[in-house]
Amino acid sequence: MIQSGNYSGSFTVRGEVHEVIDWWGQRDHSWGIRDHARCPLWMWLAIQLPDGMLGVWNWEYPNGARVYTDGCFAPADGSDPIPLVEFNHELNWIDCAGNPVGYERDGTDAHGLAGRVEIRLEGGARIGVEGEGMCCTSYGPYGGGLHLLTVHTDDGRSGTAIYEVTGAYHHHFFPVPRAQNLPPGSKSL
């Protein structure tokens, strides 16, 4: 479950309290433990827009074939969520200057994520989202990490997003395998 909305309260860093008033935010409240070493590509997107939020979960095999994709648009007015029926991504790792880079084995030069995702909802609505942002949490030996992005939709909406991209081996995101016992047909260490 993704919880999106406005957050107020405080947080403390090195003993200094910082107040937060009406910040947009998302949190992933999913249950269980992801077995990163067995997951070729796991992608989670929480896209906050003024009129609602898009949540996407996507898991792929190393060759890009889909294992699982789910999500929805949850309107801010509390009306029923609209299920996602199609998802496509054209995302790339970027360096500190915003230039595309390869992840290679350990993502040494990958400091952020940029590109486009396209979402089709039940009923036919299509939403194109362009985004760019930097990594806020690297997953080290597990690959990838959590990224904070600014986003803009084809119809002119702007917002913020969290994109989590992680995995052990994927033709585009993680071209060098970092685990053993990957799903059938995968390369291993």
> Mean per-residue pLDDT for 51-73?
95
What pLDDT is attached to residue 154?
98
Q: pLDDT per residue over 13-52, tens digit each?
A: 889 999 988 776 656 555 555 565 668 899 999 999 999 9
State both tokens at 136: 């806020």
**Mean pLDDT rounded to a whole number for the chain:** 88
Domain locations along the chain: 35-166
Q: pLDDT per residue over 84-101, tens digit each?
A: 999 999 999 999 999 999
Q: Which of 74, 36, 71 is nearest to 165 (CA)?
A: 36
How do strand 52-60 and strand 158-166 relate by DSSP bridges? Answer: unpaired
Stated pTM of the model: 0.81
What architecture is the 35-166 domain classified under in CATH?
Beta Barrel (2.40)
State both tokens at 72: 């929805």
What pLDDT is attached to residue 1?
45
